[in-house]
Structure 1
């Protein structure tokens, strides 16, 4: 298969970008990077701390700088943060430099996966379930805008999702 320069996974928090991304990278013999983890490595602090000190705007600026660097690399599977698509600059970086795969998972399943996770700053609100539904409604059109491939997820295993992605990549790369 003729592989794309960079494979970028987008989707809501809890959609499986990191889990699927790791397995996809392993299957394709590529390097895996989680952009949120990369931001933490570069700053030396956890993302909730960045949000606390700099707010979401400060975090988003760091995210754009990190995506700019990472999307220029070849041989990479990149899992992005759930809100990376908010910025038009980020959307252009991702879709212009790589193949973007949207892992679309329904909000009720996202809630099941994330309800006990305290490391997600945007979900630390009185109604996190409602917040997930709002975020999904707002972001879904943006994910679809940048996606070259959309994978409907939720109940399947990460392995099954990777197989679907491999098949879609094969089709995409043949054209």
Structure 2
């Protein structure tokens, strides 16, 4: 199967969007874009630096701009930031310009993954609460947006290879309108 359309990966931080996205892009022989990396490249600073200097609203503006920039490129796999679904215009852009895949991972597994992740500097706290409390609060607020935005939902607790296998099968068999 070749990459004939844009595929947007959504889900909470730590769900595996970047790892799955890289592998999926390889299997589909197409490009890969991580909107957080693109955003940092476009702004010349990290997510943390943007948030610290200008706040979350300004960061969300930059995030939307990165999504639009990624969407202007040819069909590819696009890993989005965890909060991309917070803005309705972002959800509309993704649904109208490609296939949206939600990588669903329960809070306990997200906490385990994020506790082991050395990239905390790239992921500033949204609430100032403990990691587990923050994950529960943020996921409770966003879960319905991930689900409503998605054309496809996959189990993100499996290995990257199994998740990509599942996505490939669903892309071949599930009609997307």
Q: Same fold (TM over 0.5)?
A: yes
* TM-score bracket, shorter-length normalisation: over 0.9
Q: TM-score, normalization: structure 1? A: 0.93
- Residues 85, 139 of structure 1: 8 Å contact kept: yes
Tell me by how many angstroms 1:56 deviates.
Answer: 0.4
**Alpha-carbon RMSD:** 1.7
Partner of 1:56: 56
Q: 1:1-20, aligned counterparts within 5 Å?
A: 1=1, 3-20=3-20
- Residues 123, 132 of structure 1: 8 Å contact kept: no
Tell me by how many angstroms 1:72 deviates.
Answer: 2.8
Distance in 2 of aligned mates of 1:174 and 1:84? 21
Q: Deviations over 1:47-85 (max 9, x none)?
A: 100000010000000111111121232221000000000
Equivalenced residue count is 174
Q: TM-score, normalization: structure 2? A: 0.92
Partner of 2:83: 83
Partner of 2:95: 95
2:66 is paired with a residue whose SS is helix
- Residues 107, 136 of structure 2: 8 Å contact kept: yes
1:168 matches 2:170: yes
Moved segments of 4+, more than 4 Å: 1-4
Instruction: Structure 2 unaligned segments of length 5 or more: list them.
Output: none
